Amino acid sequence: MTRAGDGLRTALIVGDVQTGIIREFRFARPVVSVLAQTIPMARRAGVHIVYLRAGLRPNGTDVHPNNAVMQQFHAMADVFHETSDDTWIDDALTVDPADSVVLKRRASGFAGTDLDLVLRSQRIDRVAICGVASSAVVAATVYAAADLDYEVSVLSDACADPDPAAHQFLMETLFPARGVAVSTAGEWLGRDRGPALEPPPRGPEPPGVH
């Protein structure tokens, strides 16, 4: 989708909403129904859909001995092994031939992947980020996207975290303080303003936040 007058294109980045994660981590399940409605509407509006897929090599050659989190995920076997169907996008979500699916091996969608190449190739300037968990793939990808000078927004009800307080802090305090527009998926889709996808205006940055 290109917003009239500014020439910016939008991508919706959906992080780690995949079969094994949704099955094994109960906190993640509520985002599926939100995204099942949001993704087709965004796609029809011309938004480029990007799915981030978390997967590690079964032999563990991409798991560093210093990275306890990745070691824990690798130990979950098929849930996080890239060759397993568990690492594919959840069946409730559609993957269109025009969408992009990016395999990642760390929290951020940009770490060691071709996500930036995909976005630049599609002339994307604005990204909306969502997925599970809020404090993992979402936060890591938000910061990386901002450092690469994308205009960033987050869909709060299409994100979830095992720690509700962490989710709330990110959505209500940390992300807005860093210039990230936070809204619900419905607000982002602009249901009350017609088909244009316009993230809500950014509020003033609090004093002392740089």
Of 10-14, 171-175, 202-206, minimum mean pLDDT range: 202-206
**C-beta separation of 87 from 76 below 8 A:** no
| pLDDT at 6 (0 to 100) | 53
**pLDDT 10s digits, 136-162:** 999 999 999 999 999 999 999 999 999
| pLDDT at 181 (0 to 100) | 97
Distance CA 48, CA 44 (A): 10
* Token digits of residue 175: 């992300």
Query: H/E element holding 31?
Result: helix 30-44
| pLDDT at 7 (0 to 100) | 63
**pLDDT 10s digits, 117-132:** 999 999 999 999 999 9
* Token digits of residue 136: 């993992």
Distance CA 49, CA 97 (A): 10
**pLDDT at residue 5 above 60?**
no
What amino acid is encoded at 115 in this protein? L
- Whether residue 133 has a cis bond before it, omega within 30° of 0: yes
